[in-house]
Every structure is written in C-alpha cells, then in structure tokens.
C-alpha cells in the first residue's frame, strides 16, 4: 500500500523559468488537493480535483499557476514565469470522499521549490 508520492522532491530554478510538479495520489482516492506551505506557516489551500474535474481554485492561484488531473489519477502543477515569492513547499494530498462519508486527507512528502 503506497502513499501519496510527489516528484521532484526539490527544485531549484531561476526567476522567469517554468516549473512543473507531479503528484500521484493513493490509488483509490477520488479527491486530490494542492497546498502551499511557506516557512513558519501552515499549509494554504491552492486547488482541488474531484476525479478529473477541478472544482475550486484559491485566490492564491494566480494566472501563472495551472493544475491538471487529466485522467483522474496523477496531477501536475505548473508555475510559469516563476518569481522569488513562489519559493515554498508544494504539498499534495488525496482523500476518498463519497456520499455520506468523509475521510481524512493524506499528504505526500512535498516538493520544495527555490526560485533564485
């Protein structure tokens, strides 16, 4: 039984470059969430998917950010024209949500992004 995995674990990039992160959820989970965590803060919600549908996006998700979950399995988060303020840990979580039932979110190890 594998947990949530994320790739890469670390990414260093120069300002203005594009980066893409991948998240593989727990296989039977239909919900997938992206969060961002900066130093000394709790994670902040970015967006989430129910299967392949993106149902909500936070105001934190500017036009430079795009997320996909094309087949309802893995998800990618792309940041275009990175800025130093994008430096953070990007966390992915998954859960199983069904009618009348609620289950906790399980988190991956995160991708730490450093923008120089």
Site string for another protein, 43-82 (x = CB under 8 A): xxx--x------xx--------------------------
Largest CA distance in the chain: 46
Q: How far is the CB of 16 from another protein (least distance, A)?
A: 27
Q: By CB under 8 A, is residue 89 in contact with another protein?
A: yes
Cα 82 to Cα 11, 40, 65, 77, 116, distances in angstroms:
12, 21, 9, 13, 9
Q: Listing from the earlier edge strand, what are the strands of the sheet with 19-24?
A: 5-7, 19-24, 75-79, 65-68
Q: Does 36 bind another protein (CB under 8 A)?
A: no
Nearer to another protein, 39 or 84 (CB): 39
Count, residues near another protein per rule CB under 8 A: 26
Kindly state whether residue 116 participates in binding another protein, applying the rule CB under 8 A.
no
Contact 82, 19 (CB under 8 A): yes
| Rounded least distance, CB 42 to another protein, Å | 3
């Amino acid at each position: 039984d594998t947990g949530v995995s994320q790739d890469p674990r670390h990414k260093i990039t120069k300002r203005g470059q594009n980066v893409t992160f991948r998240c593989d959820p727990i296989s039977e989970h239909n919900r997938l969430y992206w969060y961002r965590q900066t130093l000394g803060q709790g994670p902040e919600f970015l967006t989430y998917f129910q299967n392949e549908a993106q149902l909500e996006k936070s105001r934190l998700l500017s036009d430079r950010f795009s997320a996909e979950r094309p087949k309802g399995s893995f998800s990618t988060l792309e940041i275009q024209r990175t800025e130093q303020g994008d430096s953070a840990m990007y966390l992915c979580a998954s859960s199983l949500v069904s009618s009348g039932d609620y289950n906790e979110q399980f988190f991956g190890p995160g991708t730490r992004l450093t923008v120089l």
